[in-house]
Amino acid sequence: MTSKPGIVFVLGAPGSGKGTQCEKIVDKFGFVHLSAGDLLREERNTPGSQYGALIEGHITGGTIVPVEITCSLLEKAMIKSGSSKFLIDGFPRNQNNLDGWNSQMGAKVNLLFVLFFECPQEVCTDRCLQRGAAGSGRSDDNPESLAKRFDTYINATMPIVDHYRAQDLVRTVLANRSPDEVFVDVCEAFDGIKEA
Ligand code: ADP
Ligand code: C5P
Ligand code: MG
């Protein structure tokens, strides 16, 4: 018996469909979805935030915000929601994220598994560019930022996926298909988790 919240980390390249699939998981399995990127954008947009400029610099440069900021935003959102199961989307993205999470939150949560979306870079890039063209308003859905985001993904995030893979905690889903097709496999990954 554990009273700790259960969490699933959701990782994958920019545009691999993490946010899209998380919404479906929320509906079916009753998790609360916390996107690290969304929380950072919200903090950046908060008038008077001391971190606004720093966050925006990292977002347009495709680099990763120091974990103290992101982890605090995640913990605050977890406490505020009062839920006992969370999808933590886009985190941990590098070794600093992983270390900071483990020391601040590791003992407070139960990591269920890591959901990993595998998708070719060209597909992901096209999706993000389309998202930008469709008016996402994101300052990083452009070719220059995307190149840097992929660089970070390959060099900093993939080692984190490999770290969890070595512990047999990664459930991989091929994401280069329609959202509904992807979701069939996502549901399999959640096998054994009670529906909402
Ligand atoms: P991420 O959170 O991984 O960056 P999103 O879920 O925001 O990805 O998806 C990026 C863009 O691609 C969005 O415009 C979304 O509507 C679109 N998208 C998501 N999943 C698919 C899919 N399976 N097929 C085609 N387009 C998709
Ligand atoms: O996940 P998403 O694509 O919304 O992330 C957008 C940006 O937010 C990242 O490219 C990065 O600059 C920042 N971010 C971060 N640390 C995280 C998640 C996102 O710095 N753990
Ligand atoms: Mg997203």
User: Domain ranges in the chain?
Assistant: 6-190
The 10s digit of each residue's pLDDT in 78-121 is 999 999 999 999 999 999 999 999 999 999 999 999 999 999 99
- The CA dihedral of 66, 71, 77, 79, to the nearest 10 degrees, is -150
List Cα–Cα distances, 62 to 72, 93, 137, 141, 190, in angstroms.
20, 11, 16, 10, 30
Output b/e per residue, 94-118; b: 16+ Cβ within 10 A: bebbbebbeeebeeebebbbbbbbe
Looking at residue 166, its amino acid is A
**Stretch 112-136: mean pLDDT:** 98
Cα separation, 59 vs 63, in Å, equals: 6
pLDDT score, position 143: 97
Q: What is the pTM of this model?
A: 0.98
Q: What is the CATH number of domain 6-190?
A: 3.40.50.300
Residue count of the chain, please give it.
196
Residue to substitute in 40, 94, 125, 145 for testing ligand 2 pocket (most ligand atoms within 8 angstroms of CB): 40
Whether 165 is in the pocket of ligand 1, judged by its Cβ within 6 Å, is no
93 lines ligand 1 (CB under 6 A): no
Q: What is the pLDDT of residue 2?
A: 56
- Whose atoms come closest to the Cα of 73: which ligand? 2
pLDDT band at 3 (very low <50, low <70, confident <90, very high): confident
